[in-house]
Amino acid sequence: MRLSHKTATLLVLIPLIVLAPIFFPSNFYYRVGSLIFINGLAVTGMVILIGYAGQISLGHAGFAGIGAYSCALMPVHWGIPPVAAAVLGAVISALLAWLVGRPILRLKGYYLAVATLGFGILVYMVLTNETWLTGGPDGMSVNDSGLRDMAEAVGIDLKNSQFWYWMCAIVLVIGVWLAMNLQDSPTGRALRAVHGSEVAARTVGVDVARYKLQAFVISAVYASVAGSMVALQNEFVTPDVAGYMHSIEWVTMTVLGGAGSVLGAIFGAAILTTLPQVLTAFAEYEQLLLGLIMMLVMIFMRDGLLPSIMRRIRGKDE
């Protein structure tokens, strides 16, 4: 009997998340874990866009910025609770992605890359320059979400980093579950058809523009929620959250781990989130090493780390 792709992914992911803390020597590892999950969530969205639909975006941190600043601004100005603000932020991101995506997704390849890059930088510049609203480059604080207090009220008393480890884990698992469902749905099949060949997809009656836009909007929501999680956990945001380096990091994580597989992309997120912590002793060479790893993976494992390794293991089995 073969497990479905969805069940297999969740069967690997959930035990890993639950069992990992056994090996944590200190609470600091919970913090790194939560960052992996946040990046993992954004990267899951990137898999839908890059892996399923075959489109590229270098501006998704812009949506993370919208998600993050929604959590910071809405509670202060409109008295909306931070968690509800995260949901509203996701809605705004979706609307914006829909608006921006319509013209942008007509572009292909590097034109699309540059257009999305421009979008991300635009968001970053607004967050940096509108000092009266966003606090400018110095950032602004985010009201306590009250989630930890709620957990405490029902008897779950965790340290801050531990709490957010589990919180982010839950959101990630939900995100992955939704993405896997999408993959097996008619939409998912249509997206893969678009990825394979837009002409062929159009010939068999797939509305190419609509499906590309859908993938773009969905991935924007993932990025937005990831941004909100950063804001809620840190209780402080700076425009850096929307910085284009984050957009590029996410694409790198996705491609490194394996753009076609959610688990692979999360694996990529785990590596690239942990590496800077491991390499603190050689901080100057960090970028160099990252670049080197990236190049080697692209040359020798073109499908990404995890799919390539899996194939090698399977190849030996069969």
Partner 1 sequence: MTIRTLMTTAAALSALAAPAMADINIGASLAETGPAAFLGDPEAKTLRMEVDKINAAGGINGEQINLIIYDDGGDANKAKTFATRLVEDDEVVAVIGGTTTGPTMAMIPVFEDAEIPFISLAGAVEIIEPVNPWVFKTPHTDRMACEKIFADMKAQGFSKVGMISGSDGFGKSMQAQCKGVAEAAGVEIVADEVYGPQDADMTPQLTNIKGSGAEAILNSGMGQGPAVVTRNHTQLAIDAPLYQSHGVASKQFIELAGTEAAEGVRLPAAALLVADQLADDNPQKPVVQGYRDEYEAETGEDVSTFGGHAYDALYILKAAIEKAGSTEPAAIRDALEQTTGFVGTAGEVNYTPEDHLGLTLDAFEMLEIKDGEWTIVAE
Residues that bind partner 1 (CB under 8 A): 25-28, 31-32, 35, 128-129, 131, 136-139, 141, 160-161, 230, 234-238, 240-241, 243, 276-277, 280, 283-284
Asked if residues 212 and 97 have their Cβ atoms less than 8 Å apart, the reply is no
CA 69 to chain centre: 17
Asked if residues 89 and 232 have their Cβ atoms less than 8 Å apart, the reply is no
H-only helix segments in the chain:
5-19, 28-46, 60-78, 82-104, 109-129, 131-134, 147-153, 160-184, 186-196, 198-203, 208-234, 244-257, 262-278, 286-300, 305-317
Nearer to partner 1, 177 or 236 (CB): 236
Task: Tell the smallest beta-carbon distance from residue 84 to partner 1 (Å).
Answer: 22
Nearer to partner 1, 67 or 188 (CB): 67
Nearer to partner 1, 278 or 296 (CB): 278
Task: Tell the smallest beta-carbon distance from residue 237 to partner 1 (Å).
Answer: 7
Nearer to partner 1, 198 or 235 (CB): 235
Nearer to partner 1, 196 or 291 (CB): 291
- Of the candidates 224, 220, 3, the residue with the CA atom closest to the CA atom of residue 101: 220
Alpha carbon distance 102, 83 (integer Å): 29
Task: Tell the smallest beta-carbon distance from residue 293 to partner 1 (Å).
Answer: 19
Task: Tell the smallest beta-carbon distance from residue 28 to partner 1 (Å).
Answer: 4
Asked if residues 59 and 119 have their Cβ atoms less than 8 Å apart, the reply is yes
Task: Tell the smallest beta-carbon distance from residue 40 to partner 1 (Å).
Answer: 15
